[in-house]
Amino acid sequence: MRATDIKRLSLYLLFAPFALWILLLILLPHAGMMYISLREKVAPRVYEFGFENYINFFNEPIYWNTLIRTGSMSLLVTFLALLLGFPIAYYIAKIAGNRSRGALFLMCLIPLWVSDLIRAFGWILLLRETGVISSSLQWVGLIGTPIEFLYNDAAVIMGLVYTVILFMIVPLVSTLDGMDKSLIEAGYNLGGNGPTVLRRIIIPYAMPGIVAGCIVVFMLTAGSYLTPILLGGKNSSWFTEQIYDQFITRYNWESGAAFGFLLLAFTSIAVWLGLKLSGQTLNSTVADT
């Protein structure tokens, strides 16, 4: 029949750009990266297949320490973002009046429209030795000499939380928005107090949003580059820095590729674990927000 021919033709035509995009820009590059990471340089321009690059990684404590540090700090950032962001999301979705809700939500989104670089730059201006906070404190008289707030882990964590928190708030607001207010009222009506209502009703309801937010925040944090470098200085030891170092400074593509793959594997496993533990699927969380 002609109608089915047209259907098939349009399916092929629509599938072509999708296939080109995913194949050429996602699958092939990653396959290539995997291939290169499994190459050993035995002599100039002579390569052999092997796990040398990965073995190197595990033999050198600096490398895997950095990865573990990146991972644990990303977890901490994710947790902090959830802790700080949940009340804000709840306020926007359930407490704020109709008019202020939109405005508050937009204000949350503002940093999204501003580059990472500018946000980090702003923090530098605030936190550095000659920065706004240090000189204000001096002017008030609380401190005598300028204080450097930059280049420590606290600054990095704060900067990262600042950068990613809106990716926690947005999915939370959209799930909490769908929750009927009467659910909460029924919870109170049936004798629950604040904490039980939060634990038994609100948090289970918001779970897809929480998981989605945590996944995105964790991935963004673990993969971030600018914020740790600018706020943590040269010693921030973030894993993406190691990758950059291998690629650009040492020009060692084989080990850079291996590092890249390790980061990808590490974050994927973390996300997979998170999904398993919370009983959600990638489709039901990330795709819907």
Tell me if 142 contacts another protein by CB under 8 A: no
51 contact partners, CB below 8 Å, separation of at least 6: 38
Which of the ranges 8-16, 56-64, 177-185, 199-207 carries the binding residues for another protein, by CB under 8 A? 8-16
Give the whole-angstrom CA distance, residue 249 versus residue 246.
6
Q: How far is the CB of 177 from another protein (least distance, A)?
A: 15
Q: For residues 52 and 240, which CB has a smaller minimum distance to another protein in the complex?
A: 240
Q: Which of residues 211-250 bind another protein (CB under 8 A)?
A: 215-216, 219-220, 222-226, 230, 240, 243-244, 247-248
Query: For residues 93 and 183, is the Cβ–Cβ distance under 8 A?
Result: no
Give the whole-angstrom CA distance, residue 108 versus residue 88.
9
Tell me if 110 contacts another protein by CB under 8 A: yes
Tell me if 22 contacts another protein by CB under 8 A: yes
Burial class (CB in 10 A: 0-12, 13-18, 19+), 239: buried
Q: How far is the CB of 145 from another protein (least distance, A)?
A: 16
Tell me if 10 contacts another protein by CB under 8 A: yes
Q: How far is the CB of 6 from another protein (least distance, A)?
A: 8
Give the whole-angstrom CA distance, residue 94 versus residue 97.
8
Tell me if 284 contacts another protein by CB under 8 A: no
CA distances from 161 to 29, 81, 95, 167, 221 (A): 30, 6, 24, 10, 8
Tell me if 68 contacts another protein by CB under 8 A: no
Given 17, 44, 195, 279, the residue binding another protein (CB under 8 A): 17
Q: Which of residues 166-205 bind another protein (CB under 8 A)?
A: none
What are the backbone angles phi and psi of residue 129, rounded to the nearest 5°? -55, -40
Total interface residues for another protein by CB under 8 A: 82
Q: Binding string, 113-132, against another protein, x = CB under 8 A?
A: xxxxxxxxxxxxxx-x-xxx
- Using the CB atoms, write b or e for 131-161: b if 16+ within 10 Å: beebeeeeeeeeeeeebebbbbbebbbbbbb
